[in-house]
Amino acid sequence: MEVLFSEKIKNLEEILAITLKMKEAVIAEDTSALLELVEKRRELIEISGKIDEKIKREFAGEEKDIESFKKSIKEKLLEIKMHDEEVGKLAKKLYSGIEEKIGDLNFAKKVTQRYTDPFSKANFGEGFFIDRRE
């Protein structure tokens, strides 16, 4: 009985550690590390599901015996959820920043093309207007 419970707690601690590393990766804007960590965490979550199935099979009908275990699991899950929400918010900020940079790069590309195109009106002394609306 305690073997499965300690295995479950250990698995949740690993998920929490990966979630904290994901937070660090997002803050450092290291997307490749973030993707690797997301994959590792997905694998750990699958393992957690398998452990849950074993526990349900072995302890069906013994709800009172496992209440303290459920409480400790709930606390770990709430901690993971809290950090996961922070990671989500930070990732959204990172994504927005990247989108903004891409927009700026596209605008700079358009401007550069207007000035370097030998057949553009700008090179023949005529005025021009660049409309940023899409």
- The Cα 86–Cα 21 span in angstroms is 12
Is the residue at 38 inside a domain? yes
- Give me the long-range contacts of 27-30 (CB less than 8 A, separation at least 24): 27/90, 29/94
Q: Is the pTM value of this prediction over 0.85?
A: no
As a whole number, the mean pLDDT across the chain is 84
Q: Is position 130 within any domain?
A: no
Residue 123 — pLDDT band, cuts 50, 70, 90?
A: low
Q: Which of 11, 13, 35, 12 is nearest to 22 (CA)?
A: 35
> pLDDT per residue over 49-73, tens digit each?
999 888 888 877 777 767 778 888 8
HSE-up of residue 89 (Cα within 13 Å, Cβ side): 6
pLDDT above 90: percentage of residues in the chain: 40
Q: What is the number of structural domains in the chain?
A: 1
Asked if residue 133 is part of any domain, the answer here is no
> Domain for residue 78, yes or no?
yes
**Could you report the per-residue pLDDT of 17-55, keeping only the tens digit for each?**
999 999 999 999 888 998 999 999 999 999 999 998 888
User: Is residue 50 included in any domain, yes or no?
Assistant: yes
Domain that holds residue 96: 2-124
Is the residue at 6 inside a domain? Answer: yes
